[in-house]
Structure 1
Amino acid sequence: MSDLEKPRASEEEVNVAHEQHSPERRALEKKLVRKIDMRMSILIVIYILNYDSRGIFHSFSARAARKRGLERDLHLTGEQFPTLLSVIGYIIMQIPSNMFLNTIGRPSIYLPGCMIIWGTISCLTGVTKNFVGALLTRFFLGFVEAAFFPCSTLLQWYKRDEIGLRTAILYCGNIISNAFGSLMASGILANMDGKLGHAAWRWLFYIGSFDNFHRNRCHFCPARLPHHVQMVVTRERELALLRMEEDAGVGDQDETEQGGPLHGLYLAVTDWRVWWLAFALTSQVVALSFNAFFPTLTATLGFSPTVTLLLCAPPFAVSAAAAFLLARYSSQVGERCFHMNLSFGLGIVGFIISISTMNTAARYVSFFLQAQQYAGFVVLYAWMSNTFARPPSKRAVALALINAWSQLGNVAGEYVWPSNWGPTYHNSYAICIACSGTTMVMCFIFRLVLVSENKRLDKEEEEQGVKTKGFRYIL
């Protein structure tokens, strides 16, 4: 049992948590954050495994697995193979999943359960015999996997100035998968064909299902969401709740939370800001669609297949470091928009270089500039979490809706890189420039809106004579 789960604290211990600027409070808060970090760290490992299980299959469209018997064994014809790459199940389940978790408030039970199911389905994908079987397993795999990333962003035990760095660390699992997913798939496809009588492409799913043993460790994350923790608490649990209340300017169980999960759904879908960020994120996802075709783009440098796969890793390794540093500095100074737009702007420079030259060194440098856009992408995710801080039911739907809608960008991205546009891919890069530029403009406009909202809150507090500054949007 963790300290966050232990029973009653003394009145003296609870009072310490309320003394915001006392040395005891600061020491206790530092210890609490470190403990939460340790318990949440397993999510990073799980996210890497989660993204690999989806990303490895996605790499089929560009690489050798399609030629290693997948189409032949499943008797695929026409557009059936691209259909298997659809993420419909992943899209439609994110909102219901977050609503359900917000209602039950037990991620340490819900997430491991989902992960065991998706590991089983991943394994079953490897034994399918035809298109219908493969389509059903892929659909339901996405259906269950949808629980993970939106739910991870919902585990809001952090303050707004802390969430950016933690989101970056979590999302580094995605970036690392981009760096090494193709290399892993290549190794399995090259060495496992015929082992125990199974085709190499089937081994991708068998091996992917082994991460079940790691997924069960998700029970180490905080066992309850903040607003589901009972108010008879230890001083650490009292401090955890108090931090959330101070950060949002109001408690999670007060007048901001009325009507239950359906009311939260109504609040989210009727808030234009949710849709604005959903379209901004979707536009940037299209701009980042190059990541699914990165081995193909790197092959334009003219090296051997093995060297090409090795060259795929460094740009995303640098991107992971950039995401960490940018998110950390963005949180320290309390600013999001200009930080993410700087990253997106550098990405546009990379796209322009790729359009302008086929020089090997210049194009490889451009790949680094393009990949580092994930740093801005991470800051955008943190901005979403900061903007929709309350009530919990609305926050759950808003984060899931934005993330789910953005997956349409992955669907559109499949059509941005047709092979007949290669090897220069001028049209593809032009589309990426337009989409990334659109995101930058939308984010700047959104910042202006939040500036206006903060001024309105300042005026209201001044008129009411409130001395303690309440909630303000991070810009």
Structure 2
Amino acid sequence: MGSDSGSLSIEEKEAVVTKVSSPQSKEIAVEDGDLLSPDVRPAAERQLVRHLDLRLMPTIIIIFIMNYIDRSAVSSARLQGLQQDLNLSGIQYSTVLAVLCASYVPAQIPSNMILNRISRPSYYIPACVVLWGLTSAMTGVTKNYTGIVLCRIFIGLPEAAFYPGAMYLLSRWYTRKELAFRSAVIYGGLLISNAFGNVRLVISIFLLVLVMDLTHLQLMAAGILSGMQGKRGIAAWRWLFFIEGSISIFIGIIACFILPDYPHNTRWLSPAQLRLAQVRLAEDAGEADEDSAQESALVGLKLALQDPKVLIFSIMNCSQLLGLGFINFFPTIAATLGFSTTVTLLLCAWVFFLNFEGFLNDRDLRPPWIFSTIVCAVNAWSADRTGERFFHHCWPWWGVLVGYIIGVSTMSVGGRYFSMFLMAAGYSGFALTAVWVANAIPRPPAKRSAAIGIVNGIGNIGNLISSYTWKSQWGPNYHPSMYIGIASLALSTVLAFVIRCMLVYENKKLERDESEDLKGARRERIEEAARLEGLAFEQALERKRGFRYLY
């Protein structure tokens, strides 16, 4: 390509993009900046995003499914005798649920700091997947309370790396207005895994088929708990841990070869595509998405701790997860509808048309988590299109509030089942939490990675507390649990509004400060953005002045 690039035909443009799509191609004859040409860039950018969507997104989704299945398997196993076999009291079972947070919560912050400094997240994240799969499998051999508590503590350490790490990795590749929908698609894996985690494997032998064909995973809990009891003298709940842990180990090994690293060193993209990936993010925020020489992991942590938004985000996240604490007890809540264990699990599952005992006047059931996944995707798509964050974050919580109010007002099957839909859809708001943090604290990456780890880590204290707010003695109506949820989500709404007001103020401050000279690390990142984009510093500075926080 040269000065006559403006005359390229459509076929020639596509040929250039295809030519640089493989770093191993011997035909590469373009410079690493040639994909920035106005004639070629739109097609090249679409192809880059498509590559990411086809490799990064499915891998993260599958890992996320297994992440939550392995973490929540205890809740499913309880329905088939785990508590009785291990002689756990009610308080001991709650401790088994809560103790995971003792390692899961604090480990997220150093894990994200490590992830920001290492060059190969494609090794780090899969290694953590293998470790938690191994620990999950070992849970199946526990004989007593001490054994299962130790397994829960150790499974929290590698699992802490995943969600905040995945959100940080996405923020290193996608622009602000691409991030919310991708995050929601990934979080849809969590919502669907609430169905998967509460149903069983039908075919335990064909692990590869199960990994590649998610339609079979819908029967995971129901198949194992109803079909594996006593096989080889092993209780069904132990088979649940063995099989799910083995699948996680297998997925972790495969992920090493699929996940990307960062926009400067991913091996399966060409130099031209890597340059384009860096330019996209530099344009999005007006400065390069790189740390300066002075911005170490500890400096990033210090910057995050000094930002009041991080503290408010953390308390808001803790409060919302406390309000959404029903998720760990969803099978128990469904059991209050009065059906058998198998039907209770299937009510939580990914099955569109079920019909049990004339339930709801013989109508088809529309399971809550499918509804929640659809709401999550549509809500995030709208958030990306509009750039609005506060309302898209909060309105799903308000649906949960209505669900709780229905729950405390009636014990009818229809009313309670409808409230379960509203409750499940509430997780659509949580899916945008890490996205909003990344948008509100975009630079430097060291600060962003620490902020995501802090917010998600402290937020999960809400999960720990919720382990004790859905007590069995409060059943079958669980009114106190729902009152706590109502108060928690109301507080979350107030804090989210405070964050919105802070971002509005910061945008006004940006307008006042745009004429001031930039110095230090901030100037370095703008200079790096100018170099990547082939612009003069003044041009890059002008582009930076168009940046505003999304609220």
* Aligned partner letter, 2:320: Q
Counterpart of 1:169 (choices 182, 185, 189) is 185
- Superimposed CA distance per residue, residues 278-302 of structure 1 (whole angstroms, 9 cap, x where no aligned partner): 1101111011111222222223333
Cα 1:65–1:384 shift into 2, 3 Å:
farther
- Superimposed CA distance per residue, residues 359-379 of structure 1 (whole angstroms, 9 cap, x where no aligned partner): 322222121111111111112
Counterpart of 1:375 (choices 413, 428, 448) is 428
Give the C-alpha shift of residue 12 in structure 1. Answer: 5.8
* Aligned partner letter, 1:196: R
Report what 1:66 is aligned to. Answer: 82
Counterpart of 1:82 (choices 82, 87, 94) is 94
Say whether residues 1:235 and 2:272 are aligned partners.
yes
Report what 2:511 is aligned to. Answer: 458
Report what 2:289 is aligned to. Answer: 252
Q: Name the CA distance, whole Å, in 1 between partners of 2:426 and 2:64.
A: 19
Cα contact 2:86–2:144 (8 A) shared by 1 = no
Q: Name the CA distance, whole Å, in 1 between partners of 2:491 and 2:222.
A: 35
* Aligned partner letter, 2:44: L
Say whether residues 1:337 and 2:337 are aligned partners.
no
Report what 1:209 is aligned to. Answer: 245
Counterpart of 2:130 (choices 85, 101, 116) is 116
Q: Counterparts in 2 of 1:95-134, with a 5 A limit?
A: 95-134=109-148
Alignment partner of 1:193: what SS?
A: coil
Give the C-alpha shift of residue 100 in structure 1. Answer: 1.4
Cα 1:205–1:301 shift into 2, 3 Å:
closer
Report what 2:46 is aligned to. Answer: 30
Cα contact 2:21–2:270 (8 A) shared by 1 = no
Q: Name the CA distance, whole Å, in 2 between partners of 1:116 and 1:102.
A: 20
Q: Counterparts in 2 of 1:41-440, with a 5 A limit?
A: 41-60=58-77, 63-67=79-83, 69-71=85-87, 79-85=91-97, 86-87=99-100, 88-155=102-169, 156-184=172-200, 185-211=221-247, 212-226=249-263, 234-253=271-290, 255=292, 258-313=294-349, 314-440=367-493
Cα contact 1:4–1:237 (8 A) shared by 2 = no
Cα contact 1:454–1:472 (8 A) shared by 2 = yes
* Aligned partner letter, 2:224: I
Higher mean Cα deviation, 172-181 or 5-14? 5-14
Aligned-residue identity in percent: 42
- Superimposed CA distance per residue, residues 449-470 of structure 1 (whole angstroms, 9 cap, x where no aligned partner): 1011111112222567964333
Q: Name the CA distance, whole Å, in 2 between partners of 1:31 and 1:78.
A: 54
- Superimposed CA distance per residue, residues 359-402 of structure 1 (whole angstroms, 9 cap, x where no aligned partner): 32222212111111111111223212212221111111111111
- Could you list the runs of 5+ residues in structure 1 that have no partner in the other structure? none
Alignment partner of 1:301: what SS?
A: coil
Give the C-alpha shift of residue 342 in structure 1. Answer: 1.7
Q: Name the CA distance, whole Å, in 2 between partners of 1:6 and 1:390.
A: 33
* Aligned partner letter, 2:471: P
Cα contact 1:98–1:397 (8 A) shared by 2 = yes
Q: Name the CA distance, whole Å, in 2 between partners of 1:427 and 1:79.
A: 17
Cα 1:306–1:130 shift into 2, 3 Å:
closer
Cα contact 1:7–1:234 (8 A) shared by 2 = no
Cα contact 2:96–2:152 (8 A) shared by 1 = yes
Higher mean Cα deviation, 284-293 or 346-355? 346-355
Give the C-alpha shift of residue 181 in structure 1. Answer: 1.4
RMSD: 2.6
* Aligned partner letter, 1:412: I
Cα contact 2:164–2:453 (8 A) shared by 1 = yes
Q: Name the CA distance, whole Å, in 1 between partners of 2:308 and 2:320.
A: 19
Q: Name the CA distance, whole Å, in 2 between partners of 1:329 and 1:347.
A: 20
Cα 1:455–1:7 shift into 2, 3 Å:
farther
Q: Name the CA distance, whole Å, in 2 between partners of 1:227 and 1:280.
A: 34
* Aligned partner letter, 1:405: I
Report what 2:358 is aligned to. Answer: none
Cα 1:135–1:9 shift into 2, 3 Å:
farther
* Aligned partner letter, 1:45: I
Alignment partner of 1:204: what SS?
A: helix
Give the C-alpha shift of residue 153 in structure 1. Answer: 0.8
- Superimposed CA distance per residue, residues 217-256 of structure 1 (whole angstroms, 9 cap, x where no aligned partner): 22244542236679x972111000111111121113365x
Give the C-alpha shift of residue 448 in structure 1. Answer: 0.9
Give the greater-gyration-radius structure (CA).
2
* Aligned partner letter, 2:251: H
Cα 1:197–1:243 shift into 2, 3 Å:
same
- Could you list the runs of 5+ residues in structure 2 that have no partner in the other structure? 1-19, 201-220, 350-366, 518-537
Give the C-alpha shift of residue 424 in structure 1. Answer: 2.3
* Aligned partner letter, 2:95: T
TM-score (norm 1): 0.90
Cα contact 2:76–2:331 (8 A) shared by 1 = no
Matched length:
465
Say whether residues 1:474 and 2:510 are aligned partners.
no
Alignment partner of 1:302: what SS?
A: coil
Cα contact 2:80–2:236 (8 A) shared by 1 = no
Q: Name the CA distance, whole Å, in 1 between partners of 2:508 and 2:29.
A: 39
Cα 1:25–1:36 shift into 2, 3 Å:
same
Q: Name the CA distance, whole Å, in 2 between partners of 1:4 and 1:96.
A: 34
TM-score (norm 2): 0.79
Q: Name the CA distance, whole Å, in 2 between partners of 1:80 and 1:302.
A: 26
Cα contact 1:6–1:234 (8 A) shared by 2 = no
Give the C-alpha shift of residue 338 in structure 1. Answer: 0.9
Report what 2:10 is aligned to. Answer: none
Cα 1:112–1:402 shift into 2, 3 Å:
same
Cα contact 1:179–1:312 (8 A) shared by 2 = yes
Cα 1:148–1:338 shift into 2, 3 Å:
same
Q: Name the CA distance, whole Å, in 1 between partners of 2:131 and 2:437.
A: 29
Cα contact 1:8–1:233 (8 A) shared by 2 = no
